[in-house]
């Protein structure tokens, strides 16, 4: 439940509230389907400003629209603009998703219903994805004569591999949640209507851990896709050494030896 001392804030399309110490819920609420137009882009940017100011916060991105996480980009807007405005709109969306995907934050997408096009790109920009059993995910841009242009062609292969990513994008099909879970597009599969609850539970668990360590895990895993193996090993060593010298490793090791919970920031 939201903290009664901290009411929801945001714009008309995105609101956020602190549901627990160190856990922020960001809720998309733009009927009828959470199209990722200017209102949601601006709302997400404002929510990210809040995250940056809050520091070590685990974030859950969810939806208040039944049947939809987010159905995609704002097609009506895209169809009525010129080339320059089309590029500007795409850059705004890409900028927000890139900020969301930064390795210095942990975010969890709670997907119940449809996550299509830009909606799936939003979910893939999050660190983890939890989906209800009836959710459906896809990148149908080929039906519009376009490609997934907000990171979809790059993030999807890193999650599911080249062949599966091509199958999903070339066919423009909707992937049922059980299949999405089996191929690694979704990290946890829960009963319908339970994605947000499970995401908030996981967020609370993660917040009790060392945030610098979690961020270092994300950075080193991401490096595995970009660096040769030997360079990846070297980067891993550097990250671990940094945690030992200036992170929270000393507190974690001391707490283990003293048989007490660690006091992480």
Active-site residue, from 121, 196, 198, 248: 121
User: Which residues lie below 8 Å from residue 200, measured CB to CB, with a gap of 6+?
Assistant: 19, 20, 23, 25, 60, 110
141 is catalytic: yes
Contact 128, 109 (CB under 8 A): yes
Count of helix runs (H) and strand runs (E) in the chain: 11, 11
Distances (CA, A) of 137 to 3, 73, 153: 32, 14, 14
Q: Which residues partner with 108 through β-bridges?
A: 60, 128
- Both tokens of residue 141? 């841009």
Contact 220, 80 (CB under 8 A): no
Active-site residue, from 141, 196, 198, 248: 141
For residues 110 and 184, what is the distance between their CA atoms, to the nearest angstrom?
15
Distances (CA, A) of 246 to 6, 96, 138, 240, 242: 33, 30, 42, 10, 6
User: Which is nearest to 93 in space by CA: 103, 105, 101?
Assistant: 101
Q: Which amino acids are annotated catalytic?
A: 121, 141
């Amino acid at each position: 439940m939201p903290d009664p001392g901290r009411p929801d804030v945001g714009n008309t399309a995105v609101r956020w509230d602190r549901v627990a110490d160190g856990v922020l819920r960001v809720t998309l609420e733009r009927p009828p389907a959470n199209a990722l137009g200017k209102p949601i882009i601006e709302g997400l940017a404002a929510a990210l400003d809040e995250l940056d100011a809050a520091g070590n916060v685990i974030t859950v991105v969810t939806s208040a629209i039944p049947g939809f996480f987010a159905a995609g980009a704002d097609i009506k807007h895209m169809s009525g603009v010129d080339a320059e405005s089309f590029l500007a709109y795409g850059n705004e969306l890409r900028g927000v998703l890139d900020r969301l995907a930064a390795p210095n934050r942990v975010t969890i997408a709670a997907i119940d219903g449809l996550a299509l096009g830009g909606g799936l790109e939003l979910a893939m920009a999050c660190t983890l994805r939890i989906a209800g059993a009836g959710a459906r995910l896809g990148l149908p841009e080929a039906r519009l004569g376009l490609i997934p242009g907000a990171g979809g062609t790059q993030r999807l292969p890193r999650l599911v591999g080249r062949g599966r990513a091509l199958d999903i994008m070339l066919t423009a099909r909707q992937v049922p949640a059980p299949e999405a879970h089996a191929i690694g597009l979704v990290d946890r599969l829960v009963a319908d209507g339970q994605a947000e609850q499970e995401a908030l539970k996981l967020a609370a668990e993660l917040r009790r851990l060392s945030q610098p360590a979690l961020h270092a895990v994300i950075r080193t895993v991401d490096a595995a896709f970009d660096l040769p193996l030997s360079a990846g090993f070297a980067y891993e060593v550097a990250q671990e050494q940094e945690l030992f010298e200036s992170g929270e490793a000393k507190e974690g090791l001391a707490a283990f030896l003293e048989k007490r919970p660690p006091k992480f920031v």
